[in-house]
Amino acid sequence: MITIYHNPRCRKSREGLELLENSGKTFEVIKYLEQQLDKTTLKGIINVLQIKPIDLIRKNEPIWKSDYKGKTLTDDQIIKAMVKHPKLIERPIVINNRKAVIGRPPTLILDII
């Protein structure tokens, strides 16, 4: 099953969703700002992406700049920040079985569907 973690207000996320819609494949949409992700789910996503938690952070978000930038944070603290402030999570994230990408640019999604 293909899953997209989607923010409808984000242009790149909307472009990624459109690619999935045009693919003709079945997929699930999780609007992660409405269905907030828990720590376990976020850790699983990071594991499938094969990245460090810091690589999933949107570092230009005001909340990151005001509350976290310049601090030495553990991976667990970074994950907790994303759970508390889901706007910090890069988007879109698409997972297809054990493959995953951050759709920036959205065409990266085509590599896993």
The residue ranges of DSSP E strands in 8-110, in sequence order, are 27-31, 93-96, 99-102
Q: Is 10 a catalytic residue?
A: yes
The catalytically annotated residue of 2, 4, 10, 56 is: 10
Residues β-bridged to residue 65: none
For residue 73, give every residue at least 6 positions away whose Cβ sits within 8 Å of its Cβ, in sequence order, or none.
Answer: 54, 81
Which residues are known catalytic residues? Answer: 10
